[in-house]
Amino acid sequence: MEQPNARHDGDAALTPVFWLVLLLTGVATGLGGIALMWLLFRVEAFAFPGNGTYLANVAAASPLRRVNSLLIAGVVAGISLYLLRRLTPGEKTDLDDIVWTASGELSFRRCLGTAVISEVVIGLGASIGREAATKLMGGAFGSVLSHRFGLSAAQQRLLIACGGGAGLACVYDVPLGGAFFTAELLLGTTSIATLLPALACSGTATMTAWLYLPNRATYLDIPDYHWSVSLLVWSLLAGPFLGLAATGYIRVIGWISHYRVSGRVALVAPILAFGTLGLIGIAYPQLFGNGHGIAAAAFLGVGGAGLFLALAILKPIVTALCLGSGAPGGLFTPVLSTGAAFGAGTGILWTQLWPGSPVGAFAMVAACAAIGSAMQAPLTGLALILELTHGGFGFMPVMIAATVTATLVVRHLDGYSIYSARLPARPATTPIETPGLSS
């Protein structure tokens, strides 16, 4: 008996021309990822010079420099976004909306402007994810190339989705996670006809990005943690709580996306939001940037319970504040770092009652559950944590237990994700068929 859908391509025929355009999209996305990461690193070095990591340099800077850097970011974001909207009225930059509703094309020039602005303000300290820019440009390359080669609407949709996943993959060196992101989250299916092009595009973009970006784990020197009964029991208790927290945060993201600032208010909103982050950052410099440093410290178990729990509360607040001001950016690393901080903080307290498990393992389990449930893509969340850390295989079933329970909670309460919650409101007579979104 033939394996189901082993030979059927679906609406998007995987023709030789499609494969050619797919590989071109992967190469273009990898080169675009290089350019955007180069820009990000240059801005980071300009804003907070030093010989240490980004957060170490931020912590070493004076409080005045921290606040001023974010005030500058607010001015840059406010003016540049206002001008970009005026120069490109009606042009689309919402990759998720286009893929999920199968309507329209991405505007390359507006995507490029949005991506550049996003990386600049993140380098200056804004608390938003850097992956949104590369994901957007990957989709934009797919849109332009599919139009140039005359591909069908279904092929174009698949190509835009593959470019988006490849954009995530190439800057974090996570080709498998990028492919799952394309299939599970953007397209809502893990059929062979979806996974093959997704893997090819993410793999091509990742290898292309190795021309500049390192071929190694994003989070280095993570020990080879192993499972324990203590860790498993904690994960079964923490999973539902993380699901409830993810549901609440998804609703917050949906609310600020629905009431996003517009008009001339958008000129000053980023200044106020980023300035507030700067003031909070005087006491908590770890809040600057996308959250990479928070997650790295949590995975290594370096820090106290009080600090980690404070960061777990403050990081989602300041990220929502930045996004609510209209600043373009992602939520992947901010959510991941929030979960990691929660896991490390509660893990330290848990080991006082039941010793024997390393704090970093709690952080990895919680990070996986947080991002998997918030994206409503548990396979993607698991693959990303494994690739980002090159670890976790010794307690993978524990991560699965926490991720499954957290995702079930979100799915049964709302079913939305941090991506679908940001979609523009539509009339009730025009339903959106969002993959993974419960009716």
d(CA 284, CA 308): 11
Residue range 16-209 forms a domain whose CATH class is mainly alpha
In this prediction, residue 435 has a pLDDT band, given cuts at 50, 70 and 90, of very low
Residues near 210 by beta carbon (within 8 Å), at least 6 away in sequence: none
d(CA 26, CA 211): 14
User: Does 16-209 match 229-422 in CATH topology?
Assistant: yes
Query: How do residues 73-97 score in pLDDT, each as one tens digit?
Result: 999 999 999 999 999 998 888 898 8
Q: At what angle do helices 16-47 and 153-172 cross, to 10 degrees?
A: 40
Extents of the domains making up the chain: 16-209, 229-422
The CATH classification number of 229-422 equals 1.10.3080.10
Two tokens, residue 416:
């939305």
Is 102:150 a contact under the CB 8 Å cutoff? no
| pTM of the shown model | 0.92
Please tell me the least confidently modeled range out of 57-61, 149-153, 263-267, 295-299. Answer: 263-267
The mean per-residue pLDDT over the stretch 38-44 comes to: 97
